[in-house]
C-alpha cells in the first residue's frame, strides 16, 4: 500500500500542469459528470498537493470564504448544469448561486479565445488576506462544448476555480484531459474537507515532508 501511495504521488508530481502565473488549462474530452463519489478517509497528502503546495497562501489552505459561491455567466454559455457535480460530490457542502452581475467574490464564466486546441482556461485569480479566493475567471474557447473534442469543460474548470489548482493523473475529471468525467473519491473527499474548514488552515502537522 505504501509503495502504491508513493507511486501515486510521484505520478501526480510528474503530471503537475500548474504555472505560478495562474494559467490553468482544462481540455476535457471524455466522460459523464454524474453521480456522487463515495467519501472515504481524508488523504492530507492529496489535500496538500491539490490546494496548498502551489504556494498561494504560505502553506495554508485556499478556498472561497462562503460555501455558496456566486457565479456570473456571460450570454451564450451553455452546459451550466455541469456545476452540479461539485454539489453532489461534496454532499451539498459546495453550492452555486447564479447572479446577474459580476460578483465581488465569485466565479466569472465567459466566452473568449484560447490557444489552439485548448478547451478553456481558468485564470485571473484574486486572493484575500485571509487566504480566500475572491474571484476566478473561466474563459471558454470556441471548442469548449464540441463533443468531438471537449467534454465536461465547465465542470473541470470550476474544479480549478474552487481550489483544485493542479491537474491529477488518477483517470478522473481533474486530469488534464478530463479523464472519465467523474470526480474520483480522493478528490471529492479533499475538496469536501477544504470547504469544511476555514481558509488559511495550516495542514503542516498533518502532511508528511517530502511530498
- Please state the domain extents for the chain: 24-197
| CATH number 2.60.40 given to 24-197 | no
The torsion region of residue 23 among left (phi > 0), alpha (psi -120 to 50) and beta comes to beta
Percentage helix, strand, coil, to 5, in the chain? 25, 20, 55
State which of 50-59, 66-75, 196-205 shows the largest mean pLDDT.
Answer: 66-75
State how far the Cα of 52 lies from the Cα of 123, in Å rounded to an integer: 17
State how far the Cα of 133 lies from the Cα of 9, in Å rounded to an integer: 26
Query: Please, are residues 97 and 69 in contact by the beta-carbon 8 Å criterion?
Result: yes
Q: Does residue 186 have a pLDDT over 60?
A: yes
Q: So what's the pLDDT on residue 210?
A: 60
Q: Does residue 9 have a pLDDT over 60?
A: no
Nearest CA among 178, 191, 173, 210 for reference residue 5: 210
- What is the pTM for the complete model shown? 0.82
Mean pLDDT is lowest, of 80-84, 86-90, 123-127, 145-149, for 145-149
Between the CA atoms of 71, 76, 79 and 82, what dihedral angle is there, to the nearest 10 degrees? -10
Per residue in 193-204, pLDDT tens? 999 999 999 988
Q: Does residue 16 have a pLDDT over 50?
A: no
In order of 13, 73, 194, the CA distances from 94 in angstroms are 27, 18, 10
Looking at per-residue pLDDT, the higher value among 81 and 36 belongs to: 81
Amino acid at each position: 500500500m505504501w509503495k502504491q501511495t508513493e507511486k501515486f504521488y510521484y505520478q501526480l508530481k510528474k503530471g503537475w500542469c500548474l504555472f505560478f502565473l495562474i494559467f490553468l488549462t482544462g481540455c476535457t474530452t471524455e466522460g459523464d459528470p454524474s453521480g456522487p463519489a463515495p467519501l472515504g478517509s481524508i488523504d492530507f497528502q492529496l489535500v496538500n498537493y491539490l490546494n496548498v503546495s502551489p504556494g498561494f497562501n504560505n502553506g495554508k489552505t485556499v478556498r472561497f470564504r462562503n460555501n455558496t459561491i456566486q457565479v456570473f455567466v456571460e450570454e451564450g454559455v451553455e452546459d451550466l448544469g455541469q456545476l452540479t457535480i461539485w454539489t453532489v460530490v461534496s454532499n451539498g457542502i459546495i453550492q452555486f448561486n447564479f447572479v446577474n452581475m459580476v460578483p465581488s467574490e465569485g466565479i466569472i464564466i465567459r466566452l473568449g479565445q484560447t490557444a489552439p486546441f485548448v478547451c478553456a482556461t481558468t485564470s485571473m485569480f484574486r486572493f484575500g488576506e485571509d487566504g480566500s479566493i475572491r474571484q476566478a475567471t473561466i474563459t471558454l474557447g470556441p471548442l469548449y462544448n464540441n463533443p468531438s473534442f471537449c467534454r465536461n469543460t465547465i465542470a473541470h474548470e470550476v474544479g480549478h476555480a474552487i481550489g483544485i489548482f493542479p491537474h491529477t493523473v488518477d483517470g478522473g475529471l481533474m486530469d488534464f484531459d478530463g479523464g472519465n468525467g467523474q470526480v474520483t473519491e480522493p478528490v471529492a473527499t479533499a475538496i469536501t474537507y477544504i470547504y469544511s474548514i476555514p481558509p488559511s488552515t495550516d495542514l503542516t502537522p498533518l502532511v508528511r515532508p517530502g511530498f
